[in-house]
Every structure is written in structure tokens, then in C-alpha cells.
Amino acid sequence: MTTQTTASSLFAELKNRIETRHARVGIIGLGYVGLPLALLYSEQKFAVTGFDIDQKKVDTINNGGTYIFRITPKEIAAAVANGFKPTSNYSQISEMDAIIICVPTPLDEYHEPDMSYIVNTAEAVAPHLRAGQIVILESTTYPGTTEEVLVPILEKGNKLGLKASQKGAAGDNEFWVAFSPEREDPGNTEVARHDIPKVIGGLDAQATEIASALYGSIFRRTVPVSSPAVAEMTKLLENIYRCVNIALVNELKMLCLRMNLNIWEIIDAAKTKPFGFHAFYPGPGLGGHCIPVDPFYLSWKAKEFDFSTKFIELAGEVNVAMPYHVIAATMGALNKHKKAINGSKVLVLGVAYKKDIDDLRESPALTIIELLQKEGATVSYNDPYFPFVGRGRKYDLQMKCAPLDNLAQYDCVLIVTDHTDYDYKKIVHEAKLVVDSRNATRGIKSDKIVHC
């Protein structure tokens, strides 16, 4: 250990507590990112406390239940047996050695960053801070958030006059701050969570070293970078890369439809190239907590530097337009069956933002349902992961999942999410008309199917 890192007894003490699994870890936000992270630390015998303002989530875990499909009650029970304690009492923050913030960072109605979750969390944490703690932000956000938003609130709001360490040798009245972007991929069963490398950018060298030790205890590899802003931009690059390439294939899909070419066959042929090509697939629009949001975060921040991210914004526009393309295709398909969309009964198949997960965040299905309703259609939905869809930040549907026992009653079955549970041959056989936005019916020959 270098002279610089031994300058602070607080540093040595915290690092030792992490390495010996005696560090107390607090996870703020027990959603799709925070809860899996809490379970990973619990598996490694850390004392984990989960914080959430949603008392229903806290009560569910304390009662041995789960609210995320891929996390089983058995996993919850094992974590609780290892000492995992969920709570809504933020005063317990003072008892933690490490505090990891995993709260949402959505867009507002003007497609600008909604920082309220980070701000409110920081304000709730600040009064309970003590020297020698590390605070790590995982929420996807624009470069500069950690230093420009999080740190000032933590410094101003704490009762002890504490400061964030920025010189690599924290004093007795300082705490550490870092940013480490979450890299969750809901539904991915091929890559274990602990095999996903963890990018870490500390406010100073000590913060990076402590955060690397903390994450290194549950992830096989850590990737230290020079600053929180670099780590923040790394996350945006990863997701904007996907956003741009998905926009490209979405645009090519619409061209191929006019040219009577099968974009899916074309992608399958292109991906046989062993270099220089990575397959991305078109769909009815983007969903999830990152890819539909991140480009707008960076475009917003870029304006501060008098820079226009034209390429990124164009990709966002293409993807945002995809639900409208699906509606137009559905209207055209119904028209060929001598049906107007106004008054037609439409069943939307799948509302999760991607297959085999129970996640509605930014799902294009929600937009598609609302657009269908605006056109006068009578809309139902089926999704094995959602018995009911109520109200969210941008929707208020109040709909129950419809059974699949009488598909002939619908004028159109619209496939929006291609869950593997569905028997697509049976669906095509029983339905009057199937509009497929996911190529879920590939290999099924029927004049009932319209691809869009």
C-alpha cells in the first residue's frame, strides 16, 4: 500500500472492513438494479441494508416475497437469512460503511433529464453522513452529475461539515464519492451478474480504490477510470451505441418493407461475417431504463457546450417514431380486411419492453395501446408477466390481462413483445389477422400474417 493510501486511518479501516466482509453495505433503491445488487453482496456474506421509499416493496421482502419475476422467494429468503434488511428508515444510513444509490433517472415530458430521484435521495442521505463512508452513484445520468449535483448536496446537507475527499488522502472530516454505472440486462441468462465488468470512477484515487475493493468482492473484474464523468460517459456510450444501431436497422426495415425484402433474412446473412458486423434487430420501438433515455441525457448536456448531437438525436427520432409506424401498419392491415381501425377489436400481445421479463419501463407497447385507443380501437392485451397494467409515470391504462382462449373475437392480434411462452402457430391458426412487429411468426406460412 502506498504512502498516500496510508495517510488516512479512515481509509485503511474501511478497506480492511471491505476485504474482511465486515463492511455494512446500504443499497438505496430496491428495483431492477438495486435488489439484484443487494443479493450479490448478501451472497458474499456482507451485512446489507436495502433502503426504499416504497413501503410496499419493503414489506414484500420482509414477508419473504418478491416483486421481480426473475428473483425468486428462495433467493430473498437466503438473503434475509444472511442478514439482508430492507427498510424505509433513512436514519440508518449513518450505520452504513458504503452507500450505493440505484434510483431511476427518467426523462420529463419535455425529454429533459429528471434529476428529482437523485436530488431527493442525496437530500435524504446527507443529514446522516459520517466521516469515512463512501457514497457511490449507479444511476445512469449525464457526465458531471456526480460532481455537479450529488457532491454539493451531500456537502451542504450534512450536519457535521463533512467534505468529499478530492485529493487522494482523506482527512478525518471527509467521505468518499464515486460513480459506477449499473450494467443490468434483464432477461439475460447467458451472462452471470458477477461476470459483468464494473466500471468505476472515483472523485479521487482513494475513492476509486475503495469502490474497486467493494465491487471487486462481488464482480470478477473491475475497470477503474480517471473520474466520475468518464464513468458516466462510458455508460452513455454503451447505450447510445445500441440506440444508433437499432435506429439504423429500424430505418432499413421500413425501406425493406417498401422494397419487398425481408430485413430479418438480410441481418441473418450479414451476421455470418466473422468481423466488422454486430447484429442488431428492429422492433416496435425502444424500451427499458436506459436505451430510450440516454441519448436525450447527452443531447441535453451537450447544449451546455454549444454542441449539437445531430447524429444521436436523429437516431432517437427514428426509434421514437416506431410505435407510429406499427399503428400505420396495423391500420393498413385492417383496411385490407375491409375494417376501419375505429371500432376494431385489437389484442396487443406482450406489453413488457422485451421478451421474457416483467419490466414495463418505457415499453413501446404502452404507447401503442394509447395510440390504438386514440384511433378508436377497442384494445385488450395479454402478457403472462402482467395480470394488470395500472398507472405509471406516463400512462394510465387500468387494464386486466385478457385470456388467449378466444382469439377469433379480435379483428387483429398485434405482436409487440415476443415472449417465448406464446404458441405462435396456435395464435396464427386461431386469429383472423396477425400483425407481427417482432418477426415472432418466422417460419409460419399464412396469409393472415402481416409483418411490420
**398, 305, 413: which is closest to 350 by C-alpha?**
413
Q: Are 84 and 24 in contact (CB under 8 A)?
A: no
Q: Where are the alpha helices (DSSP H) in 205-287?
A: 205-216, 228-259, 263-270
What are the φ and ψ backbone dihedral angles of 176, each rounded to 5 degrees?
-110, 150
What are the φ and ψ backbone dihedral angles of 163, each rounded to 5 degrees?
-125, 150
What are the φ and ψ backbone dihedral angles of 232, each rounded to 5 degrees?
-65, -45
**395, 444, 389: which is closest to 422 by C-alpha?**
444
Q: DSSP assignment, residue 101?
A: E
Given the residues 102, 243, 256, 290, the one annotated as active site = 290
**187, 185, 186, 163: which is closest to 173 by C-alpha?**
163
Q: Which amino acid is at 209?
A: E
C-alpha cell at 186: 434483464
Torsion of CA 107, 108, 112, 115, to 10 degrees: -70
Cα–Cα distance between 449 and 452 in angstroms, integer?
10
- The verdict on whether 290 is a catalytic residue reads yes
- The SS3 call for residue 450 is strand
Q: What residues are labeled active site?
A: 290
